[in-house]
Amino acid sequence: MLETGLRIAILVEGDSSIGLGHLYRSFVLAEGLKDKGHNVTFFTPDNSFTKSFFLKRDIAYSLLDTDNFDYLNKSNQERLLSEFDKYDILIIDLIEDRYREFRFLREVKNLNIVTMTLFEFDQFGRYEDLTFYPFYKELPYQKIIKGDESELLVYSGCDYMFFNRQLINQYNKRIAQKQKNCVNILLTMGGSDPENFTEKVLISLTTISKEIHVDVVCGSANLNKEKIKNIIPRLPYSTEYHEDIDYLPSLMSKSSLAIINGGNTRYELSLLEVPSIMISLHDMQKNINDDFAEITGNLSIGIGTRLSDNFIGAEIEKYLDTICKAEIQGLFDSQGLNRILSLILKAK
């Protein structure tokens, strides 16, 4: 069959240490590009998490001979140089340290390189042609002069935050409502939850006095799933367990409160104007959570490994006494994906 449209490669990874957020975000981009008639293939490390992710989705993918991008041997480098010579656009969605390791791809002629960056953004040593920094704040610059004196345009801030189709549907329907008698709490700590904050919060919730129902969501990379499932029947409040689901936006929209660690989830909840309590994994995430909470009216309570169960429970109860959805400032709209796709395709 004769291919039409551009050939687009997406370089991304996910595992139990960094979670699956980059994979989910890149898949939203891929769906948008496919809808416009373009041909998309993922290139990703060969591990159980990426295999499971792609087996459930109708998208082309190619596994590299490594389980992560900590180190890329010469064989993989040569393979990528050869493979990407056949593509028009390469989208890189990696953490900043990994991004730097792929500078050799600049050797591929006539390949437009686009990056998606979160958390850190180092304006020095850039090698891409176009970059997006979807975040709740804009970067202090809109362009960078690279080492070869060429200009790199930087698109940052709320206008370039994008969300999956289910979440956009919920946003458009505006079905999120408070429950009058029972507080619905969504507990989701990302794809891997390496410190098992899920169990810590479940125990903390036993200390609060309100009638609650908790939807507990565990991702496919969570290594503590069985332990969590075993304690749920012993909890004194209503609980429902969900694993590796595709209906998270629906759970978000019916929630009175979400308890999370951060990541893209904080922005998805903000789109729906659902209040959230953020428990951080490390200092960098805490700095972002603190700043985001100050802007939006959500609550950041610190690094989870340093917090007692009683403290977490008390903070949740106090926040439940004060929150009102009308007080949570929505920062995003539903057009971020369209803005990004338009700029990517226009650049080519």
Q: Phi and psi for 324 in degrees, rounded to 5?
A: -150, 130
Question: Can you give the CATH number for the domain in which 94 is found?
Answer: 3.40.50.2000
Query: Closest Cα partner for 270 from 163, 140, 179, 126?
Result: 163
Residue 87 sits in the same domain as residue 180? no
Residue 31 sits in the same domain as residue 158? yes
Residue 208 lies in a domain: yes
Query: Whole domain around residue 16: which residue ranges?
Result: 7-163+333-347
Query: Closest Cα partner for 304 from 223, 207, 204, 173?
Result: 204
Within the chain, residue ranges assigned H as helices are: 21-35, 48-55, 74-84, 96-100, 165-173, 197-204, 225-231, 248-254, 263-272, 283-296, 309-322, 336-347
Residue 52 lies in a domain: yes
| Residues 279-300 pLDDT 10s | 999 999 999 999 999 999 899 9
In this prediction the pTM is 0.71
Residue 309 lies in a domain: yes
| Residues 27-72 pLDDT 10s | 999 999 999 999 999 999 999 989 989 998 999 999 998 888 888 8
Residue pair 8/33 in contact by the 8 Å Cβ criterion: yes
Residues found in the chain: 348
Supply the pLDDT for residue 117: 84
Residue pair 238/155 in contact by the 8 Å Cβ criterion: no
Residue 191 sits in the same domain as residue 112? no
**328: pLDDT strictly greater than 70:** no
**326: pLDDT strictly greater than 60:** no
| Residues 235-284 pLDDT 10s | 999 999 999 888 999 999 989 899 999 988 999 999 998 999 999 999 99
Domain total of the chain: 2
Residue 322 sits in the same domain as residue 175? yes
**100: pLDDT strictly greater than 60:** yes
Supply the pLDDT for residue 265: 93
Residue 155 sits in the same domain as residue 83? yes
Residue 66 lies in a domain: yes
Residue 97 lies in a domain: yes
**179: pLDDT strictly greater than 60:** no
Residue pair 252/267 in contact by the 8 Å Cβ criterion: no
Residue 132 lies in a domain: yes
